[in-house]
Amino acid sequence: MRLPALCAGGAVLTGLLLASLFPPLGWNVLAPVALTPLLFAMAHEPRPLRRFLFGWLSGAVFWILVCHWIRDVLANYGGLNAALSWLALALFAAAKGLHTAVFATLAGPVMRRWWATPAVAALWTGIERMHGPLGFAWLVLGNAGAGMAVPLRLAPWTGVYGLSFAFALIGAAAAALALRRKRLELAWLLPLLALWLLPAVERRSAYDREAVAVQINTAGDAQWNEDVLRSATRRMALRTLEMALDPSRPRASLLLWPEVPAPFYYYDDPQFRHEATETARLARAPFLFGTVAWTADRAPSCSIRAEGWPDATTRRASSPLANLCRRASGGSARSPPRPATTPPGKERVSSTPMTGPSAPSSAMNPHSRITFGSSLPTARKCS
């Protein structure tokens, strides 16, 4: 096989294997060998620029496959036509693929050394760790270990990046074996045997509590006035209470209005504050919802309000989110405006099982309850 075909094949295959670890396929058993094709190919490529380009291709394939939904979001809600939405996805994948490009460039010559296996694993983990500071920490290699009992034992001690290191270690050892290096180099895998000595991670399979989540469905450019806002708030509160107090279901342990794409101003709107408090009181359950708080200089700050705990608190967002709020309000320190008349759409209501031991309300940390929709895979939706 010619070298360009070998490198292109290895790059694309690693991109496909990495994508297959995550939904909808979820073939997490492939995690230990996902990097092997790329490492095998890069060990044969002597030119750094070509290693960079093939690594870039591998990363771009992965990110296009796992984040294809970005195109749909931009086309349906971002106001972009089909061509521009595909272009935006391609640019996103190209930017994210730079991590894999750097990895392939550096890993190629390292694979020729006797210490390649741990060095390549450390290189992958270090580069992967940079996803977070650059603003997109999703879908790291170690996430594939969430459903694997033995690798998961490492997570309480090292976090997800320890699992990434373990998978990359195995992948590098497999590549070294395919390159017909000395079998003695497989000894780098021996420390992984200690995983069987670590305590197993308890994973609950039974649900013992339920949460009620209601999310209003509105267009991104919806216009609001006082009547529309009050109607939406009352309708969401009634649907929340309807589900929370349903006698045919277990009592709700948590009320949640995720994201809240409506102008809810808990600290400036006495009527909304009263309705939120009454909703929590009538349901006899803690209530989490998003609102707009204010910094000391009256700049808007995204926050989460925990209503229904005796020591109800507010979590203000970090500076980037605060800046996002300022941009959403046109850079003003005043509230984002509430314009005129597009009515809200249908609410999405779900009764969601919860797990884990309950904590006394006075000791519960409300910030730990903030969640994304993907964390509620078993939600039972109601029309």
| Closest by CA position to 138, among listed 356, 320, 375 | 375
At 382 the pLDDT is 33
* pTM of the full structure: 0.64
| C-alpha torsion angle, residues 140, 74, 77, 325 (rounded to 10) | 60
Cis preceding linkage at 24, omega within 30:
yes
- Tokens for 61, please give them: 């394939």
Which residues are bridge partners to 307 per DSSP? 287
Domain boundaries, the chain: 3-197, 209-382
Work out the burial of residue 70: count CB atoms within 10 Å of its CB; fewer than 13 is exposed, 13-18 middle, 19 or more buried.
middle
Coil vs helix vs strand at 284: coil
Helices (H), 111-244: 116-129, 149-152, 155-158, 160-178, 226-244
Alpha carbons within 13 angstroms on the beta-carbon side of residue 66 total 23
At 172 the pLDDT is 92
Cis preceding linkage at 247, omega within 30:
no
The single residue listed with the structure tokens 């996803």 is: 131
At 350 the pLDDT is 41
In this structure, are residues 284 and 314 in contact, taking their beta carbons and an 8 Å threshold? no
- Tokens for 276, please give them: 């939120």
Enumerate helices (H) and strands (E) in the chain, giving the number of each: 12, 7
- Tokens for 220, please give them: 């991104």
At 205 the pLDDT is 62
- Tokens for 185, please give them: 């180099």
Dmax (CA) for the chain in angstroms is: 75
Note the pLDDT tens digit of each residue in 263-310: 888 888 888 888 888 888 898 888 888 887 777 777 766 555 555 544
Give the span between the Cα atoms of 27 and 13, in whole angstroms.
14
At 265 the pLDDT is 84
Q: What is the CA radius of gyration of the chain?
A: 25
| Closest by CA position to 302, among listed 286, 326, 272, 280 | 326
| Residues in the chain with pLDDT values less than 70 | 1, 134-135, 203-206, 219-221, 260-261, 300-383
In this structure, are residues 127 and 102 in contact, taking their beta carbons and an 8 Å threshold? yes
At 158 the pLDDT is 87
At 371 the pLDDT is 30
Which residues are bridge partners to 214 per DSSP? 349
Note the pLDDT tens digit of each residue in 210-223: 888 887 777 666 77
